[in-house]
Amino acid sequence: MKRLVPLAACFIAVLLISSPSAQAEEAKIVLRLADSFPASGHYFSEPGAKYFMEAVQKATNGQVEFQHYPAEQLGKAKDLPALTRSGVVDIGSVMPSYAAEKMPLSAVGELPGIFNSSCEGTLAFWKLARDGVLAQKEFQPNGLRVLFALVAAPYQVLMRQKIETVKNLEGKKIRALGSAVDLAMRQLKATPIRMSAPEIYESLSRGTIDGTVISYVAAMSYDLGPLARSVTTGQGFGSAVLTYSISETRWKGLPPNVQEAMLKAGDEATRRSCERMDKDTDTDLARLQKLGIAAVTFSPDEQQELVKLFANVGTAWGEELDRRGKPGSEVLKAYQDAVRNVRNGQP
C-alpha cells in the first residue's frame, strides 16, 4: 500500500500536465498584427505596438509570437477594422474615424478644445474604451476589444501657404480625419477633405489640399515638413483616436494567461505612447521651425473665439448623435468628466 501512494500521485500529476487546459496554456500561439503606419519610427507603433508585442512575448515565455505587417501590407487603413472583426487580422490598428458609420461615438476623443495633452486625452479615452461607456456601447457591439490606445496631442493646422490669422483658413481645403474635425473646419469656413494619413504627403505635394490638421509628431513621421510654410501653435483643432484592437471572438479563444499578459502590456503601452508623444511635441515643433516653417500664434481675441467655437462643436456633435439614437451627449459628458479627473490626478 505504501508503494501505491507515490505511484498514484505520479499518475495524477501526469494527468494534470497532459490535460486540455494545461496544453492550452502551453500551446504556441502566432498572432498577425497589422497596421497602416510606417515600418519604423511611427509615434504610435514604436512605443505602442512594438512594446506590446515584446512585453506579451516575454510575459508568456515565448508562448505568443507575432507576425507584424506594417504600412498597410494586409489592407488599407479604412479596411483594417473589418479585417480585424472578420479574423483575417488578429490584432489591427483600428481607427474609429475610418469606420465612422459603425463607430461614431469614439470621435469624442477627436473633438477640439477638450484636453491639453496627449496623456489627458488618451487616459480619459482609455478608461471609457477599456471598461466604460465606449466599451459597452461602441466596441462590444462591433465585436471588438481595445488592447491599447492613443489619442494624439491636440492637432494644429499645417499649411502649404503662409497664414497669420484664423480668417486665412477660410475657403482652404484642409484634410480632416473625421466627423468631429469636419465640424470644426466647417465652422471656420474651410472645406474639410477626408483622407487617411498615408495619403496626406501626395495630396499636399500636388496641391490637392492646402493643409492638414495634424500633430507635430505625425507631421514629422510622415515627412510633411518640406511641403509646408506655416503651422499653428497653442491650439487644439481636434485630434485622432488610434487603437490596436482584437475581435471578441479571437480574444475569447485565448488562454487566461495570455489574456492577462495582454491586459497588462496594453495598459503599459497606452501610457508609454502618450508620454512619448507629449515629450516629443515641443521637440518636433522646433524641428519643423528649423525647416523654415513659420509657427503661427493667433491673437488673444481669436483664441477666445476659437474656445467658444470649439465648445459649440462639441455640443452640436453630441446632439446630432442623440438624434440618430446614439448616446452622443452622454458620451461627451463622460469624456469631459474623465479628462477632468485625469487633469486633477484622480483615477
Residue 26, pLDDT above cutoff 80 = no
* Over residues 145-160, mean pLDDT: 98
> What integer pLDDT is reported at residue 76 of this predicted model?
93
pLDDT band at 249 (very low <50, low <70, confident <90, very high): very high
Average pLDDT over residues 240-247: 97
User: Three cell numbers at 151?
Assistant: 489619442
CATH superfamily membership of 28-99+118-151+242-280:
Bacterial extracellular solute-binding protein, family 7 (3.40.190.170)
Mean pLDDT of the chain: 92
Measure the CA–CA gap between 243 and 32, rounded to whole angstroms.
Answer: 16
User: Would you state the pLDDT for residue 243?
Assistant: 98
pLDDT digits (tens, 9 = 90+) for 282-293: 999 999 999 999
Mean pLDDT of 135-158: 98
CATH of domain 156-239+283-343: 3.40.190.170
Q: Which band of pLDDT confidence, cut at 50, 70 and 90, is reported for residue 25?
A: low
Range with lowest mean pLDDT among 39-48, 259-268, 331-340: 39-48
pLDDT digits (tens, 9 = 90+) for 80-120: 999 999 999 999 999 998 899 999 999 999 999 999 999 99
* Structure confidence at residue 14 as a pLDDT band (50, 70, 90): very low
Q: Give span(s): CATH 3.40.190.170, the chain.
A: 28-99+118-151+242-280, 156-239+283-343
Residue 309 clears pLDDT 50, i.e. is over it: yes
pLDDT at 177: 84
Strand-pairing partners, residue 176, are 194
Phi, psi of 291 (to 5 degrees): -80, 0
Give 16's pLDDT tier (boundaries 50, 70, 90). Answer: very low
118-129 pLDDT, tens digit each: 999 999 999 999
